[in-house]
Amino acid sequence: MAIIQMQQLSVPGRLTNLDLSLAANQVIGLIGPNGAGKSTLLQVLAGLLKYSGQVALDHQPLAQLKPTERARRIGYLPQQQHSAWSLRVSDIVTLGRLPWGDQDEQAIAAAIDGTGIRPLLDKPIHHLSGGQQARVWLARVLAGQPRVLLADEPLASLDIAYQRQIMTLLTGYAAQGNTVLVAVHDLNLAARYCDQLVLLHEGQLIQQGPPAEVLTPAHLRLVYQVEARVDFASQPPMISLY
């Protein structure tokens, strides 16, 4: 069953007439070149941009959700996060519970352990590397236990090992009945970990479906203007450029 349904979703100059359905229990990869509209789509769903068309969450118009209800049900991780104060990591993760007005220890602990940041809890956020900070901000979102998790390039500053850890974590989170929509540039990671892919180009939907249906040489040629070899018979799948 679709958790989020979009019909004729448009943002002037950014997105044009998108019709999409995002289901539960899935990691959905949002792919496309720079400027394709990936961040714009995530910002619309997070309630940060005005749009035309229809967007519904569990059959309820997104625009009708009260801010607190939206914050409880939809978690958004932008590309860049900043703290005006050098807060401790443990305090930042706890802030993820603000929409609920509590400090659920179990939810916070799961977010901390899932992102591997327990050794960092007593450190100020400004003393951490970019990759460490990225995991802390993801933990903050996960602590809120949103039904829909929106993540804008959460792997960008992570090394290979943590990229795999975070994608495995997101897969497990989706398997708990949630929807994960993640913008990702690494097509090999998208092919390996995502249940569905949404391919955007110049603000338009090119294809939505299983990775093998979306990551075709023809689509990659059209959108990325490259020649690619696509092998879904190998494990994990491999996309390589000529």
Long-range contacts of 95-101 (CB under 8 A, 24+ apart): 95/140, 95/143, 96/139, 96/140, 96/141, 96/142, 96/143, 96/144, 97/143, 97/144, 98/71, 98/144, 99/68, 99/71, 99/72, 99/144, 100/72, 100/144
Mean pLDDT of 221-230: 96
pLDDT given for residue 158 in this prediction: 86
Domains of the chain (ranges plus CATH)?
23-50+64-211 (3.40.50.300)
The pLDDT-based confidence of 2 (bands split at 50, 70, 90) is low
Instruction: Report pLDDT digits (tens) over 123-170.
Output: 999 999 888 998 999 999 999 999 999 999 999 878 898 899 899 999
Q: What predicted TM-score, i.e. pTM, was given to this entire model?
A: 0.94
pLDDT tens sequence across 4-61: 999 999 999 999 999 999 999 999 999 999 999 999 999 999 999 999 999 999 999 9
